[in-house]
Amino acid sequence: MRSLAHPPLPEQRDFPSRLHHPRVAARLGAWLGICFFVAFATGLVSHLAQQPDSWLPSRPVWGYRVTQGIHVAAGTACVPLLLAKLWTVYPRFWIRPPRQLRELALHGAERASIGVLVAAAVFELATGLANVTTWYPWSFSFRPTHFAVAWVAVGALVVHIAVKLPVVRAALAPAAADEPEPPGEGLSRRGLVRTAGVASVAAVVLTAGGTVPWLRRVAVLAPRSGTGPQGIPVNKSAHAAGVTATATDPAYRLEVRYGETSVSLSRDDLLAMPQQTSGLPIACVEGWSAHGEWTGVRLRDLLDAVGAPRGRSVEVSSLQEHGPFRVTHLPHQYADDDLTLLALALDGEPLSLDHGFPCRLIAPNRPGVLQTKWVRSLEVPA
């Protein structure tokens, strides 16, 4: 009898449940793969939208709202699917390595690729879930890291599909569906796949309240209920940005510059200019979004006041003195769009301090972090 102090390591045959089967793994894997690729594609859109020289069009106005909402929802849907998938294939973790050198090398390579895939996939979901609650328990920069590891995860996923293609083909073949399941007491294979699907849909419904307004009441696990001052959530408060004093200073002036030409405008000067109302969503990288009726001066009118030609991008500076979004770069297609405003009011009331008083940028189809608040200057490089 073996000593209890050194119990033998489990082997694959120690997990006899009928659920540890390639058909379950292939079906869960197919859904998981779809969700991962959707999250990757929408993530690429978001990454591009945040590049200073983005060529994304300014229409449709709801474009970023939809792609980023889908990005976060697809990642959320992956959580139950990934956990169920990993559980299904878990006994394979205990397969003993083969003895022949050639087989051992292949076995090692496959294990390594799966190790990379699991590590990168869990990393993407964990950092994404923490980020949507504005929790950053790490020292690295979130966006470039989440972006880079996404490429690693998707690359490892494609390698995994290449390795498993014969198994997947056999498991998903129509003939395989007619094969009866082995008898047993517990959950059936079909039952597990359906349950993981239900959990995945529930995960999205319970968290999507900040994105889909009619889900607000049932989205009990959403990081944001989707409301806030003037009906819209806030990402960074005036206090956190350190602008409370400068934003409320009566001496505040907006500077608009093009080369040597510049104008200096108080909030009253801005209110005296022709006002336009644009119904535009504010859509955050964290997935939440909300529609607002923004009123203010068309950005193009301000650029015309200093004679800046069309087709030029604009440097938008905020009163905030620190932070990565203090100065943002507005590509020309947004600057020239008739809907783009330097907003002074939201839903008929003066902009609240947390929404960017005295004035903020609001452009169609843009990530929220680039809709600069507490705008101090607009500059078109000559």
Query: How many residues belong to the chain?
Result: 382
Which span (27-35, 56-64, 112-120, 312-320) binds other proteins, by CB under 8 A?
112-120
Least CB distance to other proteins at residue 20 (A): 12
**Sign of the torsion formed by the C-alpha atoms of 112, 116, 121 and 123:** positive
- DSSP states of 120-189 as a string? HHHHHHHHHHHHTTT---SSS-HHHHHHHHHHHHHHHHHHHHHHHHHHHHHHHSHHHHHSPPPP-SS--H
Q: Is 156 in the site for other proteins (CB under 8 A)?
A: yes
Among 154, 297, 343, 345, binds other proteins (CB under 8 A): 154
Among 20, 21, 37, 123, binds other proteins (CB under 8 A): 123
Parallel/antiparallel/unpaired status of strands 375-380 and 254-258: parallel
Query: Do 337 and 322 meet the contact criterion of CB atoms below 8 Å apart?
Result: no
Among 34, 70, 86, 215, binds other proteins (CB under 8 A): 86
Euclidean distance between CA atoms 327 and 323, whole angstroms: 9
23 versus 298: smaller Cβ distance to other proteins: 23
Which span (134-142, 266-274, 326-334, 371-379) binds other proteins, by CB under 8 A?
134-142
Q: Is 84 in the site for other proteins (CB under 8 A)?
A: yes
Euclidean distance between CA atoms 193 and 28, whole angstroms: 6
Least CB distance to other proteins at residue 98 (A): 20
Q: Which of residues 7-26 bind other proteins (CB under 8 A)?
A: none
Q: CA of 219: how far to CAs of 81, 211, 226, 281, 318, in Å?
A: 20, 10, 10, 20, 34
Q: Which of residues 271-310 bind other proteins (CB under 8 A)?
A: none
Q: Is 263 in the site for other proteins (CB under 8 A)?
A: no
Q: Is 141 in the site for other proteins (CB under 8 A)?
A: yes
Q: Is 70 in the site for other proteins (CB under 8 A)?
A: no
Among 76, 211, 333, 377, binds other proteins (CB under 8 A): 76
Q: Which of residues 334-373 bind other proteins (CB under 8 A)?
A: 354
**Which residues, at least 6 apart from 129, have a Cβ–Cβ distance to it below 8 Å?**
75, 76, 79
Q: Which of residues 174-233 bind other proteins (CB under 8 A)?
A: 180-181, 185-188, 190-192, 195-196, 198-199, 202-203, 206-207, 220-225, 227-229, 233
Query: Do 363 and 340 meet the contact criterion of CB atoms below 8 Å apart?
Result: yes
Beta bridge partners of 265: 254
Among 70, 83, 167, 172, binds other proteins (CB under 8 A): 83
